[in-house]
Chains A and B, each alone.
Chain A
Amino acid sequence: MTSNPELSKSPNEASTEPNSKERVFNVDNVNVYYGSYLAVRDVTMDIYANEVSALIGPSGCGKSTILRCFNRLNDLIAGAKVEGKITYRGKDLYAKKVDPVELRRNIGMIFQKPNPFPKSIYENIAFGARINGYQGDMDDLVEKSLKQAALWEEVKDKLKESGLSLSGGQQQRLCIARGIAIQPDVLLMDEPCSSLDPLSTLRIEELIAELKKQYTIVIVTHNMQQASRVSDRTAFFNARAIEAGKQGYLVEYDSTKTIFSNPAEEATKQYITGAFG
């Protein structure tokens, strides 16, 4: 496979100047269709490097759909179509010459339900590195990734055991370790704590705060307190009922502080105060 150097932005370069607001994603007037059904419309937002951007809103508002545009996971759904323009570090994400497989190595994803592979803990992490042609020492990489995901101390003596033998919170941290083992630029998180207990959630949130020093993070969450705790910027999506179901749209995108203290839109205010959703 020919590698596209402009897509392969290493996270270390980004972390050298943590204060500059480097733009990672630019979403410009994006509509997402499933077949002829317009699921999300009119989304315009910028995602900046080494920040946590949270996407919040009621169910059906399209926040997960937008998240899955960033690593082109919607490509897997027959009939899914993205209109408008999304750029990743200045390059059109949906240009013909962009190979989604190559792109996904740079943009990792953590799912709602922990989905470790039915393999050993070690193999769970080694898999991504191996398929992407990692040349370095695998043992080191596994250890480093598990340490970054704050899981090393709990599993260092049982790396040969199944990833499924871990608790839910540990499984999710294993999935994070798996995601960062391939040294991506961005981490997408799709409600990573929704199936976890409060203590595990707290650990993941601490981890997110740690990880943003190195990675750019976009997180979808149902939990507004979580968004206010972990994120730098928050996008509020809302949904309106149409004939085919629900149609999501972006209401407001601003710094988390503004969204939670002084939102511009009435709907945002109602949502964050718990009046609906």
Chain B
Amino acid sequence: MTSADSIQKTEDSQFQTSLRKRYQQGNVLRIVSLIATYIGLVVLGVLLIDVVVDGISYLDWGFLSNFPSRKPEEAGFKSAWVGTIWLMVITAIVSFVVGVGSGIFLEEFAADTWYAKIIEVNIGNLAAVPSIIYGLLGLQAFVRVMEPLTGGRSVLAGSLTMSLLIIPIIIVSTREALKAVPDSLRQGGIALGATRWQVVREQVFPLAFPGMLTGMILALSRAIGETAPLIAVGALTYIAFLPDIWPITEGLQTPFTVMPIQIYNWVSRPQAEFHSVAASGIIVLMAALLLMNSIAIFFRNKFQQKIY
């Protein structure tokens, strides 16, 4: 800048600052990233409006409390949303125990050997395997081989398949959360005569827990919308009954359906009315997703406050 207001020393010729050009570059980048942000938001907004306009007319109490029907005006979503809740609860329990457990073992206990590195690379790969592959694995392992235990095409077999799908994601995010805990805390505990397990339980786990929950939220959000693996394990589209809560063993072995499968089924029918019914289903699915995330975020914040 060579204007009269410039605070540059006038004879300083070795630094050609061109302040205007640098500001311009910054502005261009800011506008580009702003546009990128709005593209996502606008697309989401259009989708939401479209779905709500289509689906709001069929969305009433009957839609939530009726089983599926051949007549669009009587078609209900009950078996689908109840099935999704079953699936999510079992998947959350199984994948939390296995995923967080493996993550803690790999990060805190396992020695840094080539064997551990192979496992690490494999877990990274598993997170990227197409979901239909997990479905085929679940079909063979849980539906066929373990049929006496799972009862075949049951909600338990579906949940175990879904758990397999999201466990790699949970392991990776658990390890990231554990890595974020400073090593000085571990050493502080160990120097006091604590065992590894005592250090993990008392110092590391409480600090890493909110991060682990974030990973769980992301993984479960993926699971709630998955269709392909459940089609492979044989979740049905016409279910006119609910699994029994008591005895739970029988409930777990009951055939089931979930919201995305029911929606998929309605969308693929020729009648236009069913497309509107599907839109109502999408609204319920999104509401459920929002609810689930809110609960998880609520718990995460609660735990974050507990830690100083």
Contact = CB atoms under 8 A, between A and B. Distances in A.
Nearest to A181: B192
Contacts of A104: 190-193
Most chain A CB neighbours (cut-off 10 Å) among B182, B192, B198: B192
Interface residues of A, number: 32
A80 to B, nearest CB: 12
Contacts of B185: 115, 117-118
A128 B192 contact: yes
Contacts of B189: 117, 127
Nearest to B192: A128
Given A113-B184, A118-B307, A118-B308, A71 B191 contact: yes
B202 A127 contact: yes
B32 to A, nearest CB: 40
B184 A115 contact: yes
Contacts of A161: 308
A276 B35 CA distance: 57
Interface string A73-91: 1001010000000000000
A76 B189 CA distance: 13
The dominant DSSP class at the B interface is helix
A109 B184 CA distance: 12
A128 B187 contact: no
B207 to A, nearest CB: 6
Contact of B192 (A120, A131, A164, A165): A131
B194 A128 contact: yes
A131 B193 contact: yes
B112 interface: yes
A111 B184 contact: yes
Most chain A CB neighbours (cut-off 10 Å) among B188, B189, B195, B202: B188
Contact of B193 (A76, A116, A128): A128
Nearest to B112: A78
B143 to A, nearest CB: 43
Given A104-B193, A109-B187, A109-B191, 15 more contacts: A78-B112, A101-B193, A101-B195, A102-B193, A111-B191, A116-B188, A117-B189, A118-B185, A127-B189, A131-B192, A131-B198, A131-B202, A163-B308, A164-B308, A178-B192
Interface of A: 71, 73, 76, 78, 101-105, 108-109, 111, 113, 115-120, 127-128, 131-132, 161-165, 175, 178-179, 182
21 contacts: A76-B187, A101-B195, A104-B191, A104-B193, A105-B192, A109-B187, A118-B206, A118-B307, A127-B194, A127-B202, A128-B192, A128-B194, A131-B193, A131-B195, A131-B198, A132-B193, A161-B308, A162-B308, A178-B192, A179-B191, A179-B192
The 9 A-B residue pairs with the shortest CB-CB distance in the complex, in nearest-first order: A162-B308, A105-B193, A128-B192, A109-B191, A115-B184, A115-B188, A104-B193, A131-B194, A131-B198
